[in-house]
A and B are shown apart, each in its own frame.
Chain A
Amino acid sequence: MIPQIILLSVLIFIMAKMMPGDALSGLIDPNIDPATIEAKREQMGLNDPWYQQYGRWVDDLLHGDLGQSFRYKMPVTELISQRLMNTLWLSLATLIFTYIIAIPLGIISGRYNDSLADQAITGYTYLGFATPLFIFALVMLWLFGFHFGWFPTGGSVAPGMEPGSFAYVLSKINHLLLPAISMSLIATVGTVQYLRNEIIDTKQKDFIHTARAKGAPETRVYNKHIFRNSLLPIAAFFGYEITMLIGGTVFVETIFSFPGMGQLFLESITMRDYSVVTSLVLLFGIASILGALLSDIILSLVDPRIRIK
């Protein structure tokens, strides 16, 4: 994991160096004498060899300094922390909906496989796999945001709300619902299908026959024996869900004009605010590394066979 983060930081540093302009180009007035700019560059160390610059960059990172956003004229850390909570709430809501949808559907479809309900659920997962998230989100916004007007069509909170009040929280939740539901309806199909296959597999195991032979009632067989064993691999995928959410938020936040990190990323790249772009890519990269690590940890907790000696 540590080598991966180091490699990621090198890649992002190279990307940052390849981007046109540097930390100075946004700050200065074009009328200043080029010699002064050159002196300033020298002073800031932009003419140093790359390994020194990289070292300084990493050192700053470790001290929580991500540079300055020239568009907002504020430190990147501050800018990101304003948006971070929105994205975190959106991801959390999406994860909750994903599992609320996936678990019952997976169980129904696995327990009564080849029934009508199973066929409907399998049909849904088939469609869900083929539908790109952004098209689905657009249709959801058009249908429920504009056509029926059930949900707000943009922003993360209604204007003029006082932070901390109950109405504020309600408005926040209201703004979260449609993006989170849209994203989870697409993100959940993998989990539904996996849970279904897992249950169908477990159903035929010997210990299930034993449980039935002992006379355990059918509900107990399903709830205690099958469900618990089928859920373990799903728990392990939790970390990878986080990785998948990252790509999703970029689309969903843009479509629902939701002020989170994904939207900030696209805005900054359009405005060529590169210090923000590099910081965000780094953060998202670290988040997906941590997600993969989390999955490995959960997997080794629930399944002793793959624990590293």
Chain B
Amino acid sequence: MGKDVGVMTDKEELQHVTKSPSGFSIVWREIVRDKLALVSLIFLISITAFVFGTSYVLDQDEIVSVDLFSIHQPPSEEFWLGTDYGGRDVFGQLIIGTRNSLSIGILVTLMTGLIGIIFGLVSGYFGGHIDNVLMRILDFFMILPFLMIIIVFVAMVPKYSIVSFSLIMTAFLWMGIARLIRSKALQERELDYVQASKTLGSSNLKIMFTQVLPNLTSIIIVNMTLNLAANIGLESGLSFLGFGFPESTPSLGTLLSYATNPQTLEFRWWIWMPAAALILLLMLSVRNVGEALKRATDARQRRG
């Protein structure tokens, strides 16, 4: 960059060069510098594009309809990864399952993020009694054996659907991000700009959401990326136990749950192994990107 400065005579371009790099370009540089994160990002983008693209062509109802004449077939030209105990094409389920797992992972991450941000901001910004009460509530949620309670709610809800599933998951997973935002908001509210804004008469709501929140975006993005990996894992775990997606909407965990049958686990690896590998790859890639983002937000850790 430096060697070009001398050549440039145009004043506007000179200013452009000496300007400190924008947030996006820091992130981009960090990801490019970290080959693993770059590969992960490319993998994530291509798998998302592939999965959402092909699911327009594939018909979910056709894939999940039972075909008794082709139960447990090994991989062949017609069924690339064989069929399950209901004669359903495993490869088709893998694509649809990835789409469903990704969608719900993103949905739950966004919803927990929303609740966590509001809860944490209110608690940290106001402090004092409000903070005290809210933190007691949060502590209570933290000690709950959330996996079991999610399972109980999933089994109990009368009209069970994807929406209720993601709401139940959200209800017990917002605490981590709320606690993080709260601790940052506590620091932020002591800073001069908040005091200045208060003196100028800005409302608390305005300070919280238009002034404090933008300063926390980088932490929120990093945390939500890492949460996305955890949520994909949790969703597939719940579907694996049979308390996630219903079987008519397969997820990656549904494919793995077929492996609870010892016969399938031992002799029909093509049913569950690809799904296991895919979950692992998805979680690893999301984490890799998340770690690169984390370094980008902290100037001391940056590689580029």
CA distance A119 to B145 in the complex (A): 34
B283 touches A131 (CB 8 A): yes
CA distance A116 to B229 in the complex (A): 28
CA distance A146 to B272 in the complex (A): 15
Question: Which of A46-54, A60-68, A223-231, A247-255 sits within the interface?
Answer: A247-255
**Residues of the B chain whose Cβ atoms lie less than 8 Å from the Cβ of A142:** 259, 265-266, 269
**Residues of the A chain whose Cβ atoms lie less than 8 Å from the Cβ of B265:** 138, 141-142, 146
B231 to chain A, nearest CB (A): 11
CA distance A127 to B262 in the complex (A): 26
A135 touches B262 (CB 8 A): no
B280 touches A135 (CB 8 A): yes
Q: Give the nearest-CB partner of A133 in chain B.
A: B237
B272 to chain A, nearest CB (A): 7
CA distance A281 to B145 in the complex (A): 7
Asked whether any CB of chain A lies closer than 8 Å to the CB of B45, the reply is: no
Cβ contacts B224-243/A at 8 Å (1 or 0 each): 00000100011011001111
Number of interface residues of A (CB under 8 A): 45
A284 touches B148 (CB 8 A): yes
A132 touches B283 (CB 8 A): yes
**Residues of the B chain whose Cβ atoms lie less than 8 Å from the Cβ of A266:** 151, 241-242
Cβ contacts A6-26/B at 8 Å (1 or 0 each): 011001000100111000000
Cβ contacts B212-253/A at 8 Å (1 or 0 each): 000000000000000001000110110011110000000000
B284 touches A130 (CB 8 A): yes
CA distance A18 to B266 in the complex (A): 40
Asked whether any CB of chain B lies closer than 8 Å to the CB of A99, the reply is: no
Asked whether any CB of chain B lies closer than 8 Å to the CB of A88, the reply is: no
B280 touches A288 (CB 8 A): no
A250 touches B148 (CB 8 A): yes
A146 touches B148 (CB 8 A): no
Question: Which of B76-84, B136-144, B193-201 sits within the interface?
Answer: B136-144
A153 touches B276 (CB 8 A): no
Number of interface residues of B (CB under 8 A): 37
CA distance A246 to B148 in the complex (A): 9
Cβ contacts A280-309/B at 8 Å (1 or 0 each): 110011011100100000000000000000
B190 to chain A, nearest CB (A): 23
Asked whether any CB of chain B lies closer than 8 Å to the CB of A219, the reply is: no
Q: Which residue of the partner chain, among B145, B152, B234, B237, contacts A277 with CB atoms under 8 Å?
A: B152
Asked whether any CB of chain A lies closer than 8 Å to the CB of B156, the reply is: yes
**Residues of the B chain whose Cβ atoms lie less than 8 Å from the Cβ of A126:** 287
A138 touches B152 (CB 8 A): no
A250 touches B156 (CB 8 A): no
Main secondary structure of the interface of A (DSSP, over half): helix
Asked whether any CB of chain A lies closer than 8 Å to the CB of B133, the reply is: no
Contacts A135-B276, A269-B155, A277-B152 given; does A288 touch B242 at CB 8 Å: no
**Residues of the B chain whose Cβ atoms lie less than 8 Å from the Cβ of A133:** 237
Asked whether any CB of chain A lies closer than 8 Å to the CB of B260, the reply is: yes
Q: Give the nearest-CB partner of B142 in chain A.
A: A292
Asked whether any CB of chain B lies closer than 8 Å to the CB of A265, the reply is: yes
**Residues of the B chain whose Cβ atoms lie less than 8 Å from the Cβ of A292:** 143
Q: Give the nearest-CB partner of B267 in chain A.
A: A146
Asked whether any CB of chain A lies closer than 8 Å to the CB of B177, the reply is: no
**Residues of the A chain whose Cβ atoms lie less than 8 Å from the Cβ of B237:** 132-134, 251
**Residues of the B chain whose Cβ atoms lie less than 8 Å from the Cβ of A131:** 280, 283
CA distance A15 to B284 in the complex (A): 36
A-B residue pairs in contact (CB < 8 Å), sample of 22: A7-B140, A11-B144, A129-B287, A130-B283, A130-B287, A131-B280, A132-B236, A132-B237, A133-B237, A134-B256, A138-B259, A142-B269, A243-B143, A250-B241, A251-B241, A255-B260, A265-B151, A270-B155, A281-B149, A285-B143, A288-B143, A288-B145
CB-based closest 4 A-B pairs: A132-B233, A247-B147, A284-B145, A146-B266
Chain A residues proximal to chain B, CB less than 8 Å: 4, 7-8, 11, 15, 18-20, 126-127, 129-135, 138-139, 141-142, 146-147, 153-154, 243, 246-247, 250-251, 254-255, 265-266, 269-270, 277, 280-281, 284-285, 287-289, 292
Chain B residues proximal to chain A, CB less than 8 Å: 139-140, 143-149, 151-153, 155-156, 229, 233-234, 236-237, 240-243, 256, 259-260, 262, 265-266, 269, 272, 276, 279-280, 283-284, 287
Q: Beyond A138-B265, A138-B272, A254-B241: 11 further Cβ-contacts under 8 Å?
A: A7-B140, A15-B152, A126-B287, A131-B280, A132-B234, A132-B236, A247-B145, A250-B241, A281-B152, A284-B145, A284-B148
